Amino acid sequence: MSIGLIAGLLAPLAGWILDRHGARLVMTASLGIVAVAFFLRAGMTELWQWYALSALLAVGMPGTFMPVGKLIGTWFPKTRGRMMGTAITGNNVFGLIGVPLLNVVVISQGWRLGYAIIGTCLAATALAAWLVIRDSPSQGPVIERQGPSTGRRNPPDLDLTIKEASRTPAFWLIMAGLTCAGFSYPSFMTQLIPHMEAEGWDSAKATFALTALAGIALASKITWGRLSERLTARISFVIAILIMSSGVVMVILARDTAMVWPAIIYFGMGFGGIGPLMTLVILEAFGLKNLGAIQGSISLVAQILPVLIGPILAGALFDSTGSYRASFAIAAGIFAIGAVCVFAARRPGHRQA
């Protein structure tokens, strides 16, 4: 998993290429790299090959998701919140459907066929991306020009460069806020099953709780997207991460009682908004033209720091206290700090002509 940090290191480069050569090329090439990384795993015979292919996978990862925000911002400017929420559900849908199906394949036919199937599906997706994606409406049919807007009208994009954006307080506050939100997976999600088992739950029940959380997060994504069109992405993000913070506190207080279930559902509602809102916050603050470079620079910190700190801190605190409650309390505090940072990240003023 540590090799995956390569993805964070390469995010600025992927963003720079995205801004200059378009989403179609970046997404197709990145999906192709990821497809090769999975397909070649089917023939692995040595441990070093596993590490090498994991590194190749990490190289391709940034370009598979970063173009989504730019495409949606270009094609659906009036409804980009709900469209982003819809697009991001793909991660959760595969987790709920694809993983169980692949598990059947691995159990019955072995892991080599499982990796070959993933690689083949990704190669087909790369081909579809090349054939279908167009970087702007001028390259294809116009999907939205005078589409209805829901509620509050967002101000026009500023289209700041990375240099201009980095000179604003909003850039650093957003970077800090998104980094805090990034602790949700390595500091809470991956520790939830061990926490529940330590509190006395059996493995099957703890696993079902995590599955329920994922399902709630999936169901809430589109709602958060629509809310961002009414309240702005910044305010929606603040609400979502505050729900996460208080949800973690509820999990701590519930311990092994039945109150864990509403706590997990409540946390999942907030967690579902983080994925679509992170990109929308950046897009709303700094514009679309240089979104790739700005998002890549923020991701360099927001993706790496939580992975480096979160699991190690959680493990060390468990070893010293015999419980994950202390690390969860710290995570709740980090989320609250993230809410404050993003709330304070006021949109930069218009550029001087």
Q: What are the C-alpha distances in Å from 249 to residues 266, 319, 325? A: 11, 21, 9
Q: What is the mean pLDDT of residues 177-206?
A: 85
Cβ-count burial of 344 within 10 angstroms (0-12 exposed, 13-18 middle, 19+ buried)?
middle
Mean pLDDT of 183-202: 84
Instruction: For residues 12 and 353, give the distance between their C-alpha atoms in angstroms, rounded to a whole number.
Output: 28
Band of pLDDT at residue 349, cut at 50, 70 and 90: low
Residue 208: what pLDDT?
Answer: 82
Q: Give SS3 for 139.
A: helix
CA gap 203, 212 in Å, rounded? 14
Q: Mean per-residue pLDDT for 20-34?
A: 94
Q: Give me the sign of the Cα torsion angle 310, 313, 319, 324.
A: negative
Residue-wise pLDDT for 238-249, tens only, equals 999 999 999 999
Q: What is the pLDDT of residue 98?
A: 79
The percentage of the chain sitting over the pLDDT mark of 90, rounded to a whole number, equals: 50
- Cβ neighbour number for residue 346 with a 10 Å cutoff: 12
Task: State residue 156's pLDDT score.
Answer: 54
Q: pLDDT category, 144, cuts 50, 70, 90?
A: very low
Task: Provide the 3-class DSSP secondary structure of residue 150.
Answer: coil
Terminal Cα distance for the chain, rounded: 46
Section 323-352 average pLDDT: 86
Q: Which residues of 241-278 are buried (b: 16+ CB within 10 A; e: fewer)?
A: bbbbbbbbbbbbebeeeeebeebbbbbbbbbbbbbbbb
Residue 289 class from Cβ within 10 Å (0-12 exposed, 13-18 middle, 19+ buried)? middle
Q: Which of 324, 345, 311, 299 is nearest to 65 (CA)?
A: 299
The token pair at 19 is 């801004």
197-233 pLDDT, tens per residue?
Answer: 888 887 777 778 888 888 888 889 889 999 999 999 9
pLDDT at 187: 84
Q: Answer whether residue 13 shows pLDDT above 80.
A: yes
> How far is 136 from 138, CA to CA, in rounded Å?
5
pTM: 0.83
Query: Which of these, 228, 334, 212, lies nearest to 267 by C-alpha position?
Result: 212
Closest to 219 in 3D by CA, of 144, 270, 278: 270
Tell me what the mean pLDDT of segment 141-156 comes to.
48
Domains of the chain: 2-138 (1.20.1250.20), 162-344 (1.20.1250.20)
Q: Confidence class of residue 142 from pLDDT cuts 50, 70 and 90?
A: very low
In this predicted structure, the answer to whether residue 143 has a pLDDT above a threshold of 60 is no
Give the per-residue pLDDT at 149.
46
H helix intervals, the chain: 5-21, 23-41, 47-60, 62-75, 80-93, 99-109, 111-132, 162-166, 169-181, 184, 190-198, 203-231, 233-254, 260-286, 291-302, 304-321, 325-344
- Say how far apart CA 156 and CA 250 lie, in whole Å: 39
Q: How far apart are CA 171 and CA 178, in angstroms?
A: 11
pLDDT at 353: 34
pLDDT (0 to 100) of residue 139: 55
**What percent of the chain lies above the pLDDT cut of 70?**
92
Give the residue-averaged pLDDT of 269-295.
91
CA angle 179, 180, 186 (to 5 degrees): 90
The average pLDDT across 298-315 equals: 88
Q: What is the mean pLDDT of residues 10-20?
A: 91
* Pick from 122-126, 172-176, 198-202: least confident: 198-202
CA angle 72-78-80, nearest 5°? 30
Cβ atoms within 10 A of the Cβ of 46, count? 8
pLDDT tops 50 at residue 146: no
Q: For all residues of the chain together, what is the average pLDDT? A: 87
